[in-house]
Amino acid sequence: MFANIPETNQKRVVIVGAGFGGLALAQKLCKKDMQVVLIDKNNYHQFQPLFYQVAMAGLEPSSISFPLRKVFQNHSNAHIRITSVNAVDTNIKQLSTDIGVINYDYLVLAMGADTNYYGMENIQKNAMPMKSISEAIYLRNRVLQNFEEALSEPKREEQEGMMSVVVVGGGPTGVEISGTLAEMRKIILPKDYPELDFENMKIYLFQSSKGVLPSMSDQAADKGKDYLEDLGVELRIGERIVDFDGRYAVTNKGAKIRTNNVVWAAGIKSNKIEGLNETSYTRNGRLEVNEINQVASYDDIFAIGDIAQMTSDELPYGHPMVAQPAIQQGELLADNLHQLIKGEKTKPFKYKDLGSMATVGRHLAVVDLPFWRFQGTFAWYVWMVVHLFSILGVKNKVLIFINWVWNYVTYDQSLRLIIKPIMKFGKKNIFSSTQKTE
């Protein structure tokens, strides 16, 4: 069975993944004389840096999502297929998907990364990751549901376990979740749940390396640590969570923490596709690519973003697994594919580091630019402006701006909804309020 994509005289470029890199590539390619096929499991692009605001009830999921078909409405050479990719047959240049097979002239893998649990099955089963909008919604549901259930719990220890949160991973995501939770504990949640004593709500942040925000400057890391401690977050630096059964989180030092809520923001691993030579993968699971993002051992397969590892003397382990390398690689690859088709010279990729930033709370952020490092209120405004303008769609920008202004003026988001996804098949509920959704 074929996926019903029209045959043309144009070279067909199939892109797997509509994240930052895949979308940037597809947007630029569809302006050239090529047929572009974009494949993703979802019919929308997700703005991952703001997942935590959905999880913490600061933004609606629709505010940070944008329909893929709307992006390509005016490009007849762009074709979108919403499906999962199962394998690639490199001999006949064909992808196997849930909706049928798709042939390609050039294949670009931009599937990004998924949560890395480092082989800990209990944590994979019971902790809450945040690599998609659906996972962010699940996190919001579960945390809020635990507050509701705590109201009826007579035992203080059990109440504390329902209310307390352990965040694992001190990168930007972990820091942003911890800081937002701490502010909610102080200002918002006591108004929603006046019967609960929020002195019983503990917020822990575990980071196994030297400190929080390890990928940023020491100046940013020190300030981030100070901000979190001022907000009442209990930092556990140099410690790891090694087990979690849904009620107790266990550290590598043998300590047990009573909590129903473990947020796992500790690691990522590249997604894989069946059919590629194992020699194309590096030791850390990323695909080895050359200076034009061509996968090792293949002339017609490319990889960009988190899944790709392009090494150099400056970057022996490849580029950081964040948005900017993916976007820049996607934009350049569009030009290089056009050059390859014409038989002309390609241009090697050079990463331009635009800096990094993280917000810890209201008026609290840290920013590392290549030429300037700063923290505090001004950094918070810069963080907001950069993220606002990075969102796709005028409507999305307006919605986010309104939410942020309302939150700034009132400090009381109105999005604390427990949405229980229930899908029925006959008389059987496939999803209950306590099950994760994909």
Nearest to 384 by CA among 136, 59, 82: 59
Two tokens, residue 368:
């590392």
The residue written with tokens 């998609």 in the block is 132
The backbone torsions φ and ψ at residue 378, rounded to the nearest 5 degrees and listed phi first, read: -60, -40
Q: Are 88 and 96 in contact (CB under 8 A)?
A: yes
Strand, coil or helix: 252: coil
Distances (CA, A) of 264 to 115, 116, 120, 207, 360: 8, 9, 12, 11, 18
Using only C-alpha atoms, the chain has a radius of gyration, in whole angstroms, of: 23
Name the amino acid, one letter, at 215.
S
Q: Please, what sign has the CA dihedral across residues 376, 144, 112, 73? A: negative
Burial of 421 (0-12, 13-18, 19+ CB in 10 A): middle
Q: Are 140 and 146 in contact (CB under 8 A)?
A: no
Output DSSP code: residue 318.
Answer: -
Q: Please, what sign has the CA dihedral across residues 275, 277, 278, 283? A: negative
Two tokens, residue 176:
């942003």
pLDDT of residue 222: 96
- Report the alpha-carbon distance of residue 255 to residue 233 in Å, rounded: 18
Query: Which residues fall within 8 angstroms of residue 416, CB to CB, at 6 or more apart?
Result: 57, 140, 144, 188, 192
Nearest to 333 by CA among 301, 293, 298: 293
Per-residue pLDDT tens listing for the chain (438 residues): 677 899 999 999 999 999 999 999 999 999 999 999 999 999 999 999 999 999 998 888 999 999 999 999 999 999 999 999 999 999 999 999 999 999 999 999 999 999 999 999 999 999 999 999 999 999 999 999 999 999 999 999 999 999 999 999 999 999 999 999 999 999 999 999 999 999 999 999 999 988 999 999 999 999 999 999 999 999 999 999 999 999 999 999 999 999 999 999 998 999 999 999 999 999 889 999 999 999 999 999 999 999 999 999 889 989 999 999 999 999 999 999 999 999 999 999 999 999 999 999 888 999 999 999 999 999 999 999 999 999 999 889 999 998 888 887 776 766 788 887 665 544 444 333 333 433
Burial of 259 (0-12, 13-18, 19+ CB in 10 A): buried
- Report the alpha-carbon distance of residue 23 to residue 311 in Å, rounded: 23
Distances (CA, A) of 401 to 250, 289, 397: 40, 39, 6
Strand, coil or helix: 48: helix
DSSP lists the bridge partners of residue 77 as none
- Report the alpha-carbon distance of residue 97 to residue 109 in Å, rounded: 14
Query: Cβ atoms within 10 A of the Cβ of 279, count?
Result: 9
H/E stretch holding 352: none
- Report the alpha-carbon distance of residue 197 to residue 1 in Å, rounded: 60
Name the amino acid, one letter, at 115.
T
